[in-house]
Structure 1
């Protein structure tokens, strides 16, 4: 018995020989005869032989896989041979269909599954004519698997492997912060709860991972949600002590869920600002009526190409920028601001359009009200944009609350604007009255080299903040011993002169007012005094995490605290963004998608880049 000469180069023949009956090959390990797919070496196939190793000799199958990969690589890099036998082999290899379990097929199965998750494609894409033709052209030997095989075999494997990689990333992290949000699909009855982890690495780079997009099966009570949070954290082996802070929305059931799970939490800063705007501006009947008319005007042009073309010609004739009117989303107050702004910008073109149309035009009073809304809400819009960025930290909350308070208190000649500002000021004071008693917010503000202790409301609050930080330093010192090493110090950049809005003018005014009072404060902690005495970083042109990366050797204990307290974002936006993908997954074609499958897809989509870097 011997291996077929045309097959000697294939590593499968390290484990088999040709039987006397040439229709069979004999396993060298167990002497079992396996059908080789033909009675001539010219038509032999190896799929049965590979499956035999995979079923009965798993270690040998693994060894074969490694050899086969090297063999294929050698074939790819080998120069073309003039040998007729090699050419026939190559031709046969190109025409032979891969078995569904072939390692090359499995690799493409996996890529297809990853594509479906990353690009939010339906599972049925593997049955689409165009995609099937494309794949068949790119690799004729490969056959796309069925939807069922992909969902039941390949996708769970991709998910499991990715979870292992995410766990590896999180193994050395001591403290985690989290954002969370709930969402319900409009196309069905699915309801999901997201949980996203945030932390800072030792080099102060930000990392985050979407741990869950958990299906909710029961009424969303605080007790039920609290139990869900406990289960999610336990599943990842994260203890209550490791949870630094959770950013959530301001709903009563979410706040109660945090208490039920014994987790320290804080309401999403952007959502709180939304409530301030609702209290002070959007709840006024005149504003409600104005927004209703604005929505009707936007809808008119959005649903009529003829109307929009006519508006464009009027804009061109009047020399007005041909900008589209902005549609608002009722759950996002700043989208209402952008809608009002777009209509105010186009008021002349709209007035001209309405003279020959049934579309009602805004009255002079309503246009004046629109300008007042823009003036009153622009400072809060600036804050919302800043706190929603991926680099934002909870360290900005105390400074931004004080800056907004100061901005709203500034005199305004227009009575209507002043009334709106006063209403928002009252809401701001009510909703953030205890912000300077919140330990994570206080310490985060102090450890941000752009703010330090300059943005507290009084000298006594500055002193209390320093005391809170000193106590935390003592606790951290008791937990671990920090090495004290020398490192070169890069001086903080000087504050740049900038054109500023009314909101950022308040920033500079607060610094001037607080500078003198801060000089009178001192403590017996020399490290803290040295840190606080150094000039502040310029807010717009510097990064607090980059500063800590450069200066952690100078302030090792403070740096360790900064790594924990600067990690949480100020809003739950990172978890809300997860659901932009969820809305694509739960479209009309997939409204009955199993929630567990949806969670797997969202996990892969949101964590793929983290686990592959």
Structure 2
């Protein structure tokens, strides 16, 4: 490490042994796990992170391992990896309270084989809802494809980037912004792309009038703005649920916020028929039994929400109520 990164200071033995002691202190542990590909080294990695509450009621998170997955990503192999990592850290399976995983069939199978109680990752579920909603609307897919074509034009041309910057600085007296390209595996990158197009509207209109790559019609601009407005709560909730300090106590209230927001957007006078269809699909996905339809019947979520410190004042306040359900 001194040769590769001289300024990095490796933690001492006491640092790591303190985590071993902490793991022994916990009566119960919950875990999060995921599999992803590291493009630069061309390997797949399986992570396992432990979460617990210390004696002084502080949330603790410990990344146990990132295991290289050389084999096929089958449920059987993943299950074996999980149990091996737990054994390496001396964690008795009786301490495993719950595993949070995505809805991949291999992950679901791994939990079944391991005999662990498990729940689906709320962020992954939200992403699947949005993906299904977007893919159900041909007009929206065409709009996204058009914007991606324009974004690719700028990302592949330094001349185009320089011209757009010049328009912003000299003709519009604006601080220069660049076009953002979306990523197919992350729905919020589509949101960020459209949000940036909305901010760059004036400069892009001027640029496209002289460089006809693809025509963005007035109706397209209206749809871009409406999409950003509709997806803003989804983006905020995705970020909130991605915080290291969040817990599943927030899932029921935040999903309820999404449902209420969709209902409000549907009744607005400026909501077109095609957006009503889009909203209907999003709402159907959120209410689906394979997504969040049975959320209030799952004890892990309902009990966590009832005990969640963040919502205590709402339960006591006569002006604010959260739907709390406990079996």
Are residues 1:426 and 2:284 paired? yes
Q: 1:255 to 1:341 in 2, by over 3 A?
A: same
1:188 to partner: Cα distance: 4.9
SS of structure 1 residue aligned to 2:152: helix
1:452 to partner: Cα distance: 5.2
Q: 1:449 to 1:167 in 2, by over 3 A?
A: closer
SS of structure 2 residue aligned to 1:171: helix
Deviations 1:372-415 (A, max 9, x none): 21122111112111111121111001111222112212222212
Q: 1:343 aligns with which of 179, 190, 197?
A: 197
Are residues 1:383 and 2:237 paired? yes
Q: 1:212 to 1:448 in 2, by over 3 A?
A: same
Deviations 1:492-514 (A, max 9, x none): 9x89xxxxxxxxxxxx7xx3586
Equivalent residue for 2:297? Answer: 437
Normalised by the size of structure 1, how large is the TM-score? Answer: 0.48
Which runs of no fewer than 5 residues in structure 1 stay unpaired? 1-110, 120-154, 456-491, 496-507, 522-613
Are residues 1:311 and 2:164 paired? yes
Q: 1:325 aligns with which of 164, 167, 179?
A: 179
Equivalent residue for 1:271? Answer: 124
Partner Cα distance (2:268, 2:133) in 1: 16
Deviations 1:5-42 (A, max 9, x none): xxxxxxxxxxxxxxxxxxxxxxxxxxxxxxxxxxxxxx
Partner Cα distance (2:223, 2:138) in 1: 12
Q: 1:371 aligns with which of 225, 229, 232?
A: 225
SS of structure 2 residue aligned to 1:207: strand
Q: 1:207 aligns with which of 60, 63, 82?
A: 60
Equivalent residue for 1:590? Answer: none
Which runs of no fewer than 5 residues in structure 2 stay unpaired? none
Equivalent residue for 1:293? Answer: 146
SS of structure 2 residue aligned to 1:112: coil
Are residues 1:191 and 2:44 paired? yes
SS of structure 1 residue aligned to 2:149: helix
Q: RMSD between aligned alpha carbons? A: 2.9
Deviations 1:58-102 (A, max 9, x none): xxxxxxxxxxxxxxxxxxxxxxxxxxxxxxxxxxxxxxxxxxxxx
Greater RCO, 1 or 2 (C-alpha within 8 Å, sep 6+): 1
1:439-478 alignment runs, 5 A limit: 439-451=299-311
Q: 1:453 to 1:399 in 2, by over 3 A?
A: farther
Deviations 1:515-564 (A, max 9, x none): xxx9xx9xxxxxxxxxxxxxxxxxxxxxxxxxxxxxxxxxxxxxxxxxxx
Q: 1:229 to 1:513 in 2, by over 3 A?
A: closer
Partner Cα distance (1:247, 1:358) in 2: 48
Partner Cα distance (2:314, 2:115) in 1: 32
1:67-106 alignment runs, 5 A limit: none
Kept in 2, the 8 Å contact 1:446–1:453? The answer is: no
Equivalent residue for 1:239? Answer: 92
SS of structure 2 residue aligned to 1:253: helix
Kept in 1, the 8 Å contact 2:253–2:322? The answer is: no
Deviations 1:290-346 (A, max 9, x none): 222222222222333322222122223124442222222221111110101111221
Kept in 2, the 8 Å contact 1:180–1:246? The answer is: yes
Partner Cα distance (1:453, 1:261) in 2: 39
Normalised by the size of structure 2, how large is the TM-score? Answer: 0.87
Pick the structure with more strand per residue: 2
Partner Cα distance (2:162, 2:113) in 1: 57
Equivalent residue for 2:2? Answer: 112
Kept in 2, the 8 Å contact 1:192–1:215? The answer is: yes
1:360 to partner: Cα distance: 1.8
